[in-house]
Chain A
């Protein structure tokens, strides 16, 4: 088979696949979590901690243990503990998981905090709104980055 004839085509095909894989997709949409979200200021870890704890915003302790927050009682254990997440995941990986965990696991119980695609029968007052704003996502990412392995 004359591979050298098809080499340019194969190269183009692989490059296209690489581009597609680099930007994760859900239901055909593009979701690039590699860069801070558009229109945001640099993430503030202190503000992010407040969003993390707030029951009507992140409410993250509903499902996740964070040992450095043990002055707050009763952390949930539905999801994994987040101790060390700042060491174990990159900023892009953290941002992706917060924005839309369905991309990493279509069966996840974790809500998509900054995506409305694929949602069903949303309460009227929240329709077409994300749980967290772009700035809140950046702030939470900044906070989670501070949770380093001891």
Chain B
């Protein structure tokens, strides 16, 4: 009897060690680009006159613009963004030891402006902030997302995953209903996408300007008649963390154009 228990314990231990620490979601995911109609894709692919380019160029120009009490620009500390910012944007949200929680790219930009440049934080939906963030993301163009969800990040990741799977609003839907369970189905005239974050801040055709991921969250939640969280709230940073991990193998697209 004792021998049987021992071998059972051995087998179970071996099985436990062989099991991956976190199973993949198992979803077949596609970029929003693949869900877009050809005309929208053409807007994104247009290297000469695409509608997102002017915002990207503004972001690039802002990189060298002096701002704040220290008389610095981004370029003062980062003179070669093509090299120094490569793979940087695609690693956010990251764990921030100072605040003991994940920090998004937009939050990091404003923190650097305040701490190093003595400049005022931009509002979360300001064209200046979105332009610079698009420029940073463009340096990670074509790269997968390098998102760490282990150690101190794990509880925040779990909260984000929970929010993704929780029904909200008078219409009583969770993100997962449209973007996982019923992706590829027609909602009125549009095919439901996987709701990934790889193209943000994206140029939205209706808004005719760059739109941040959290603004998109708010819009979705209001459509469900749910009370949305604030831009750059903990809830939305956690959700962003989950989404970027979920879609980590779908590469960064910048510029990107979406409906």
Q: Contact between B188 and A119 (Cβ–Cβ < 8 Å)?
A: no
Q: Contact between A120 and B166 (Cβ–Cβ < 8 Å)?
A: yes
Any B CB within 8 A of the CB of A124: yes
Q: Could you say which of A32-40, A42-50, A74-82 contacts chain B? A: A74-82
A-B contact count (CB 8 A): 66
Any B CB within 8 A of the CB of A19: no
Which residue of the partner chain, among B171, B181, B222, contacts A131 with CB atoms under 8 Å? B171
Q: Contact between B188 and A123 (Cβ–Cβ < 8 Å)?
A: no
Interface of chain B residues 128 through 184 with chain A (CB within 8 A): 166-173, 177-178, 181-182
Cβ–Cβ < 8 Å partners of B166 in chain A: 120
Q: Which of A74, A122, A123 has the most CB of B within 10 A?
A: A123
Q: Contact between A78 and B182 (Cβ–Cβ < 8 Å)?
A: yes
Any A CB within 8 A of the CB of B10: no
Which residue of the partner chain, among A73, A118, A121, contacts B227 with CB atoms under 8 Å? A121
CB contact under 8 A between A77 and B225, given known A109-B178, A119-B169 = no
Any B CB within 8 A of the CB of A61: yes
Q: Contact between A75 and B172 (Cβ–Cβ < 8 Å)?
A: no
Cβ–Cβ < 8 Å partners of B178 in chain A: 109
Which residue of the partner chain, among A111, A118, A123, A124, contacts B173 with CB atoms under 8 Å? A111
Q: Contact between A122 and B227 (Cβ–Cβ < 8 Å)?
A: yes
Interface magnitude class on chain A:
20 to 34
SS of A interface (majority): loop
Cβ–Cβ < 8 Å partners of A107 in chain B: 181
Cβ–Cβ < 8 Å partners of B98 in chain A: none
- Shortest CB-to-CB span from B230 to chain A, Å, is 13
CB contact under 8 A between A109 and B177, given known A62-B188, A76-B186, A123-B222 = yes
- Shortest CB-to-CB span from A38 to chain B, Å, is 22
Q: Contact between A111 and B227 (Cβ–Cβ < 8 Å)?
A: no
Q: Contact between A111 and B187 (Cβ–Cβ < 8 Å)?
A: no
Q: Mark A61-102, 1 if CB is under 8 A from B, else 0.
A: 111000000000111111000000000000000000000001
CB contact under 8 A between A121 and B169, given known A78-B182, A109-B178, A126-B225 = yes
Cβ–Cβ < 8 Å partners of A62 in chain B: 187-188
Q: Which chain A residue lies CB-closest to B172?
A: A111
Q: Contact between A109 and B182 (Cβ–Cβ < 8 Å)?
A: yes
Cβ–Cβ < 8 Å partners of B169 in chain A: 119-123
Q: Contact between A122 and B170 (Cβ–Cβ < 8 Å)?
A: yes
Any A CB within 8 A of the CB of B231: no
CB contact under 8 A between A76 and B187, given known A109-B177, A123-B225 = yes
Q: Contact between B185 and A121 (Cβ–Cβ < 8 Å)?
A: no
Cβ–Cβ < 8 Å partners of A78 in chain B: 182, 185-187, 192
Q: Contact between A73 and B182 (Cβ–Cβ < 8 Å)?
A: no
- Shortest CB-to-CB span from A58 to chain B, Å, is 12
8 pairs, CB–CB < 8 Å, chain A vs chain B: A62-B187, A73-B189, A77-B186, A78-B186, A119-B169, A119-B170, A120-B226, A123-B226
Query: Chain A: residues with CB nearer than 8 A to chain B?
Result: 61-63, 73-78, 102, 107, 109, 111-112, 116, 118-124, 126, 129, 131
Known: A109-B173, A121-B169; 8 extra A-B contacts, CB below 8 A, are A73-B189, A75-B186, A76-B185, A116-B170, A119-B167, A120-B167, A121-B227, A131-B170
